Amino acid sequence: MIRQADQTPPSKAREDTPMTALQIAELRGLADRAGEPFAPTLTRREARERILALRSRLQVCLDFP
């Protein structure tokens, strides 16, 4: 019998797995463009958050006259 506390929704469980190949490629490119180190050990959730932050930062740099 599975207790309620042991039941992790599948989508949440995937978020804690290593980032995908697509995330690795995008994050590596964004980190290079931003002049920041690439972190190869992020989870999918961490990678998504980092990608969004780098995209935003790079966009601000492009928009600044």
CA separation, residue 60 to residues 21, 22, 39, 51, 56 (Å): 26, 24, 22, 14, 6
- H-only helix segments in 1-65: 10-15, 21-34, 44-63
pLDDT in tens, 11-22: 666 888 999 999
Q: Output the pLDDT for position 1.
A: 45
Q: How far apart are CA 25 and CA 51, in angstroms?
A: 11
pLDDT in tens, 6-65: 555 556 668 889 999 999 999 999 999 999 999 999 999 999 999 999 999 998 776 665
Token pair belonging to 6: 């042991």
Residue ranges covered by each domain of the chain: 19-34+41-65
- What is the value of pTM for the model shown? 0.74
Q: How far apart are CA 52 and CA 55, in angstroms?
A: 5
